[in-house]
RNA sequence: GUCCCGUUCGUCUAGUCAGGCCUAGGACACAGGGUUUUCAUCCCUGCAACAGGGGUUCGAAUCCCCUACGGGACGCCA
């Protein structure tokens, strides 16, 4: 028995859709699972829309997700070329076979595939016209996910466009035959196209590959109806990169879109996914995109991220938001990151969470303003604590705590009475890292100054 | 409109193929409580689903049929 060969056939026209990424992942998983080959084939027959940049971007995204390929545009292989734009000779050769078999004809400058069967014309309500149809024999695929699916193709279709470029269905089938593809895992949107493909396999007297049609990824119902489009939030992998999501989390999330492991474990590394992946466990029904789940997974991975990787990603996120540059004190930065480590839920939120460590221009949280500051006696709390902090000679966590404790003893109020107000004064919000270490790190001069600034704002 | 595919908590899903172990399990989200003298984490509890109707059967989420609803295809896009 020959070994498994699967392919991923993206068209490099811009950004990578989440469904495209999932197709890549599932094909990759199946290849690695079976010890087969994962082939990358570039669908660049539409010349105007393809650029080198888009291709580079595509390869970058695949690598970011942790996917590698055995044959492809940059790695080569025995079945090349791996750009469809360079496979013209092969397409011509296969077109000749169809010509010789009398299965093609020309119309309006394009080459059509001729179906076999009785011809008749009929009014078609979709095309709103009288069109020619063919009474063909139904064709059946045994889909690895859906079982037997039978359908009849009833209209001739274009093989080569009038501008000379070969069309999708034709190149798709020719490439799968000539590259020895054994399994085709693709989106359900191709299920209806499969009858066209099967007709071509028949005409070429070739054995069709095994098909598996994955469910569509649908919009969050709160957002709208239908399949997720590239305009929807969360639809593009680039968006996750820009938002500093972890690739492990993204991979985990897209794997769970339409697939789930038998043992019910949800947080899975790509290796663990690989151990559990089975085509038959892929869901039939469309999967709805849930941004909250994506965020949660990202959060889980952040918690277990090794410290050096955490620091790298954190620095990137801070640099991207221009809170820090290369002049930043690396020891101070390290301490800040250490302090925020267990508090933040995403790198995306880190800049907002920690801005006040790096700049006096930090935003004031409206809710905190209402809840903490616009409250009777709030400014009195600052008036009480400010001189005591000012007077401290030893600016250590315990010394700071003592200052609060003393005040607490004298007034009978808990230290809790001052904490939120001071936190608000120095950070503009009511949540954040551990309070006392935060003050210590910020430094006496800055803490006292911000308290006074806050007080000055009322007068 | 025609054809194809689908339908379990708000969402992702387990269970369906081999009907009884399902008073339907987990996760996210949401609500309430607890731990934490801050903040977050964390822990506990709760909410919440077999689309509807007919069969078959001692017994159906599970098998069959119909209806409804959702999705996809119907391009000289891929």
| Of A375 and A92, the one with more pLDDT | A92
pLDDT at residue A459 greater than cutoff 70: no
- Nearest residue to nucleotide B76, by CA–C1' distance, is A161
**Which band of pLDDT confidence, cut at 50, 70 and 90, is reported for residue A327?**
confident
Does A415 lie in the same domain as A323?
Answer: no
Does A210 lie in the same domain as A92?
Answer: yes
Does A206 lie in the same domain as A123?
Answer: yes
Does A191 lie in the same domain as A109?
Answer: yes
Q: pLDDT of A109-147, one tens digit each?
A: 999 999 999 999 999 989 999 999 999 999 999 999 999
Asked whether residue A329 is domain-assigned, the answer is yes
Asked whether residue A250 is domain-assigned, the answer is yes
Average pLDDT rounded to a whole number, residues A288-316: 92
Q: Distance of CA A76 to CAs A44, A64, A90, A131, Å?
A: 17, 20, 17, 45
| A199 CA vs B15 C1’ separation (Å) | 38
Q: pLDDT of A36-52, one tens digit each?
A: 999 999 998 776 666 78
Asked whether residue A261 is domain-assigned, the answer is yes
| A222 CA vs B10 C1’ separation (Å) | 10
| A305 CA vs B8 C1’ separation (Å) | 35
Please state, in angstroms and rounded to a whole number, the distance separating the CA atoms of residues A330 and A178. Answer: 56
Percent of chain A with pLDDT over 70: 98
Catalytic-residue membership of A284: no
Asked whether residue A230 is domain-assigned, the answer is no
CA A313 to chain centre: 17
What local confidence, expressed as pLDDT, does residue A205 receive?
Answer: 95
CA dihedral over A117, A122, A128, A129, signed as positive or negative: positive
What local confidence, expressed as pLDDT, does residue A48 receive?
Answer: 63
Please state, in angstroms and rounded to a whole number, the distance separating the CA atoms of residues A29 and A256. Answer: 13
Does A175 lie in the same domain as A136?
Answer: yes
Nearest to A20 by CA among A271, A223, A235: A235
pLDDT at residue A1 greater than cutoff 60: no
The nucleotide whose C1' lies nearest the CA of A226 is B71
The number of beta carbons lying within 10 Å of the beta carbon of residue A245 is 23
- Nearest residue to nucleotide B37, by CA–C1' distance, is A416
CA A104 to chain centre: 42
**Which band of pLDDT confidence, cut at 50, 70 and 90, is reported for residue A402?**
confident
The nucleotide whose C1' lies nearest the CA of A285 is B6
Q: Of these residues, A96, A107, A230, A265, which one is catalytic?
A: A230
| A423 CA vs B40 C1’ separation (Å) | 14
Q: Which CATH number do you get for residue A91?
A: 3.40.50.620
Cβ-based neighbours of A311, under 8 Å, separated by 6 or more: A334, A337
Does A129 lie in the same domain as A194?
Answer: yes
| Of A107 and A373, the one with more pLDDT | A107
Q: pLDDT of A328-356, one tens digit each?
A: 888 889 899 988 988 888 999 999 899 99
What local confidence, expressed as pLDDT, does residue A47 receive?
Answer: 65
The nucleotide whose C1' lies nearest the CA of A160 is B76
| Of A282 and A51, the one with more pLDDT | A282
Query: A366 pairs with which residues across the strands?
Result: none
Does A403 lie in the same domain as A333?
Answer: no
Q: Which CATH number do you get for residue A395?
A: 1.10.10.350
| A139 CA vs B63 C1’ separation (Å) | 26
Q: Which CATH number do you get for residue A326?
A: 1.10.8
What local confidence, expressed as pLDDT, does residue A382 receive?
Answer: 86
| A210 CA vs B25 C1’ separation (Å) | 33
Average predicted confidence (pLDDT) for chain A: 90
The nucleotide whose C1' lies nearest the CA of A190 is B73
3-state SS string for chain A: CCCCEEEECCCCCCCCEHHHHHHHHHHHHHHHHHCCEEEECECCCCHHHCCHHHHHHHHHHHHHCCCCCCEECCCECCCCCCEHHHCHHHHHHHHHHHHHCCCEEEECCEEEECCCCEEEEEEECCCCEEEEEEECCCEEEEECCCEEEEECCCCCEEEECCCCCECHHHHHHHHHHHCCCCEEEEEHHHCCCHHHHHHHHHHCCCCCCEEEEECCEECCCCCCCCECCCCCCCCEHHHHHHCCCCHHHHHHHHHCCCECCCCCCCCCCHHHHHHHCCHHHECCCCEECCHHHHHHHHHHHHHCCCHHHHHHHHHHHHHHCCCCCCCCCHHHHHHHHHHHCCCCCCHHHHHHHHHHHHCCCCCCCHHHHHHHHCCCCHHHHHHHHHHHHHHCCCCCHHHHHHHHHHHHHHHCCCHHHCHHHHHHHHHCCCCCCCHHHHHHHHCHHHHHHHHHHHHHHHC
In this prediction the pTM is 0.91
Average pLDDT rounded to a whole number, residues A432-440: 89
Q: Which nucleotides of B are covered by protein (CB under 7 A)?
A: 1-8, 10-15, 25-29, 37-41, 70-78
Are the beta carbons of A229 and A235 closer than 8 angstroms? yes
The nucleotide whose C1' lies nearest the CA of A149 is B4
Asked whether residue A360 is domain-assigned, the answer is no
The nucleotide whose C1' lies nearest the CA of A228 is B71
Query: Could you give the number of structural domains in chain A?
Result: 4
What local confidence, expressed as pLDDT, does residue A53 receive?
Answer: 84
Residue-number span of the structural domain to which A405 is assigned: 366-456
pLDDT at residue A285 greater than cutoff 70: yes
What is the Cα Rg of chain A in Å?
A: 31
Please state, in angstroms and rounded to a whole number, the distance separating the CA atoms of residues A244 and A250. Answer: 11
Does A374 lie in the same domain as A255?
Answer: no
**Which band of pLDDT confidence, cut at 50, 70 and 90, is reported for residue A84?**
very high
- Nearest residue to nucleotide B28, by CA–C1' distance, is A293
pLDDT at residue A54 greater than cutoff 90: no
Q: Which CATH number do you get for residue A298?
A: 1.10.1160.10
What local confidence, expressed as pLDDT, does residue A159 receive?
Answer: 96
Asked whether residue A190 is domain-assigned, the answer is yes
**Which band of pLDDT confidence, cut at 50, 70 and 90, is reported for residue A256?**
very high
| A215 CA vs B13 C1’ separation (Å) | 14
Q: Is A20 exposed, middle or buried (0-12, 13-18, 19+ CB in 10 A)?
A: buried
Does A103 lie in the same domain as A196?
Answer: yes
Asked whether residue A139 is domain-assigned, the answer is yes
ipTM for the predicted complex comes to 0.92
Does A159 lie in the same domain as A94?
Answer: yes
Does A295 lie in the same domain as A389?
Answer: no
Asked whether residue A67 is domain-assigned, the answer is no
Does A249 lie in the same domain as A176?
Answer: no
């Amino acid at each position: 028995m020959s070994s498994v060969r699967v392919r991923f056939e993206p068209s490099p026209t811009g950004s990578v859709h989440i469904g495209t990424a999932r197709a890549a992942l599932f094909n990759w998983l199946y290849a690695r699972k079976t010890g087969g080959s994962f082939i990358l084939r570039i669908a660049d027959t539409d010349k105007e829309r393809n650029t080198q940049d888009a291709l580079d971007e595509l390869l970058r995204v695949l690598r970011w997700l942790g996917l590698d390929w055995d044959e492809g545009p940059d790695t080569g292989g025995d079945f090349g070329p791996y750009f469809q734009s360079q496979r013209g000779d092969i397409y011509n050769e296969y077109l000749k076979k169809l010509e010789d078999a009398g299965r093609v004809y020309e119309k309006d400058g394009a080459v059509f595939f001729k179906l076999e069967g009785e011809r008749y014309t009929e009014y078609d309500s979709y095309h709103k016209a009288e069109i020619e149809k063919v009474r063909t024999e139904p064709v059946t695929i045994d889909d690895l996910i859906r079982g037997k699916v039978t359908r009849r193709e009833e209209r001739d279709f274009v093989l080569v466009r009038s501008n000379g470029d070969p069309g999708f269905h034709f190149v798709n089938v020719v490439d799968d035959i000539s590259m020895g593809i054994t399994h085709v895992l693709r989106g359900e949107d191709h299920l209806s196209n499969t009858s066209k493909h099967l007709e071509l396999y028949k005409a070429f007297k070739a054995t069709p590959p095994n098909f598996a049609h994955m469910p569509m990824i649908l919009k969050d119902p709160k957002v709208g109806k239908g399949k997720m489009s590239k305009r929807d939030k969360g639809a593009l992998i680039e968006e996750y990169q820009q938002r500093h999501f972890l690739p492990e989390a993204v991979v985990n999330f897209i794997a769970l879109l339409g697939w789930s492991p038998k043992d019910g474990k949800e947080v899975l590394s790509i290796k663990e996914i690989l151990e559990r992946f089975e085509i038959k466990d892929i869901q039939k029904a469309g999967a709805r995109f849930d941004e909250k789940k994506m965020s949660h997974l990202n959060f889980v991975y952040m918690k277990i991220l090794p410290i050096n990787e955490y620091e790298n990603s954190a620095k990137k996120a801070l640099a991207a938001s221009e809170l820090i540059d290369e002049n930043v004190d690396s020891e101070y930065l390290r301490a800040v990151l250490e302090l925020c480590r267990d508090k933040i839920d995403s790198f995306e939120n880190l800049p907002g969470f920690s801005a006040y460590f790096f700049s006096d221009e930090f935003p004031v949280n409206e809710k905190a303003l209402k809840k903490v500051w616009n409250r009777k006696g709030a400014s009195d709390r600052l008036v009480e604590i400010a001189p005591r902090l000012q007077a401290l000679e030893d600016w250590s966590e315990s010394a700071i705590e003592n200052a609060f404790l003393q005040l607490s003893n004298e007034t009978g109020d808990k230290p809790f009475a001052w904490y939120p107000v001071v936190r608000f004064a120095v950070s503009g919000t009511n949540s954040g890292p551990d309070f006392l270490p935060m003050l210590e790190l910020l430094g006496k001069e800055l803490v006292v100054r911000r308290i006074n600034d806050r007080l000055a704002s009322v007068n």
